[in-house]
Amino acid sequence: MSVDKNLLEVENLKVRFPTRTGVIEAVRGVSFSLGRERLGIVGESGSGKSQTGRAIMGLTDPRAEVTADRLEFDGIDLRSLPARERRALRGKRVAMILQDPKYSLDPVISIGRQIVETLRTHEKVSRAEARERALDMLAAVQIRDPKRVFDLYPHEVSGGMGQRAMIAMMLVAGPELLIADEPTSALDVTVQLDVLAILDRLVADRGMGLIFISHDLRLVSSFCDRVVVMYAGKVVEQLPASELANAQHPYTQGLLDCMPKIGADRHPLPVLARKAEWAA
């Protein structure tokens, strides 16, 4: 792969859900590219941010219709890729972290075995070596006693620990692109920062590309290099995270403005006056 080539190219991505009452357009022509950087996708519920992530991952509901002018990962056209090859890619080169470890880890398989399963699906490694690498990975996400946690079931660990286990599982096969869909929203604030710090270090050390999907504009801007703001299935603004204070679009400004801040005495809080033309 040449240095200047982007890891991911998305052009005019659309996701539509045919329903009894008509077609719902969840994503309506999203375009962006991603290098080995941290990109944040921000928006409120229903903005299409998660569906964008899922479409890249190839996890869109089969009833939905996904189209794009371009959807390439490392030069591979994802639109025409056979399901079998897509599966090989998923988990190995592109991985996804979901919001709540309570629901996204298998409740009847121990944490260690879930990590080993990922590894052995994608690489020919012996049982012993897989175990060794899973333990290393658990240590890398700063789990203090990997041997003990390896044999625990998801219900036996806390939310923060579960999310670390999920990060371990997703990174064990060494992906180049990681999509994190609200990875810390289900966690307590102090735990949130620990998990983000771990994610940040691993992404930097391994030179991965990261798509960080979140509703929290402030958090995303403190964590990512670049931010894509979505509204009603469209990208309304793309900007460097450091430039967030100078956001141009009224939606981005309104979203930033309506959050209570410690020390800002504003009563009542400014509310977001939605305009029909934003969705146009």
Size of the site for another protein (CB under 8 A): 36
Owner of token pair 């009224």 = 250
CB atoms within 10 A of CB 16: 17
Residue among 79, 148, 261, 275 that touches another protein (CB under 8 A):
261
Name the amino acid, one letter, at 148: R
Rounded to a whole number of angstroms, the minimum distance from the CB of residue 159 to another protein is 8
Q: Are strands 8-19 and 70-73 parallel, antiparallel or unpaired?
A: antiparallel
Residue among 24, 59, 197, 279 that touches another protein (CB under 8 A):
197
**Site membership for another protein, residue 24 (CB under 8 A):** no
**Site membership for another protein, residue 109 (CB under 8 A):** no
Which residues, numbered 37-96, are part of the site for another protein (CB under 8 A)?
Answer: 44-45
Which region among 4-12, 75-83, 120-128, 259-267 touches another protein (by CB under 8 A)? 259-267
Q: Closest CB to another protein among 201 and 206?
A: 201
**Site membership for another protein, residue 254 (CB under 8 A):** yes
Rounded to a whole number of angstroms, the minimum distance from the CB of residue 135 to another protein is 25
Q: Closest CB to another protein among 155 and 201?
A: 201
Q: What number of CA atoms fall less than 13 Å from residue 213's CA on the CB side?
A: 22
Rounded to a whole number of angstroms, the minimum distance from the CB of residue 197 to another protein is 6
Residue among 136, 270, 275, 279 that touches another protein (CB under 8 A):
270
Q: Closest CB to another protein among 32 and 223?
A: 223
| Assigned token pair, 127 | 């049982």
Write the interaction track for another protein spanning residues 209-248; mark x where CB under 8 A is met and - where it is not. Answer: ------xxxxx-xxx-------------------------
Which residues, numbered 128-167, are part of the site for another protein (CB under 8 A)?
Answer: 159
Which region among 15-23, 63-71, 97-105, 195-203 touches another protein (by CB under 8 A)? 195-203
**Site membership for another protein, residue 269 (CB under 8 A):** yes
**Site membership for another protein, residue 262 (CB under 8 A):** yes
Gyration radius of the chain over CA positions:
19
Contacting residues toward another protein, per CB under 8 A: 44-45, 159, 188-193, 196-197, 200-201, 215-219, 221-223, 254-255, 258-263, 266-272
